[in-house]
Amino acid sequence: HPGASTPDYTYRLEKVKFGVPLEEVCKNNENIPGPLLVLILKLNKESPNRRDVFRAPGHQGAMKKLIHFLQSGRLVNVDNYSVYTIASVLKKFLRKIPNGIFGRTGEKELFDIIELENESEQMERLHR
């Protein structure tokens, strides 16, 4: 209708923050941002059929574009990116987490668990 405002069809997603603690990326320590989850699911689906997915580098230009889309919260069609590019972006995201995925205390806890000789106790502590 003339004069009616047109709806904004520009979809915004959660922004994926690179270089911040995991608690800040995954709010309430439980939710992986949707765009990041889509990348993980794409890798889960396609990487078993490919060789050296995490060893071969992704296309640098495509990586920059994908990272920009993730950081700005823009809708991304992951079918436009190779699994190698997606894997490289995920590796970059993980590398930039300060103090690693588990943090210093979590990492120490994992090393302590490895030292345990009782396998059932190891499993119990890992589950916690």
Q: What is the pLDDT of residues 39-88, one digit of tens each?
A: 999 999 999 989 999 999 999 999 999 999 999 888 889 999 999 999 99
Tokens of 67: 């990272």
Q: What is the pLDDT of the chain when averaged over all its residues?
A: 86
Tokens of 119: 């396998």
With H, G, I as helix, E, B as strand and everything else as coil, classify residue 74: strand
Residue 65 and residue 97: Cα distance in Å, rounded? 20
DSSP bridge pairs for 74 = 12
For residue 1, name the pLDDT band (cuts at 50, 70, 90).
Answer: very low
Residue 13 and residue 106: Cα distance in Å, rounded? 30
What's residue 46's pLDDT?
92
pTM: 0.76
Q: Taking residues 113-117, what's their average pLDDT? A: 91
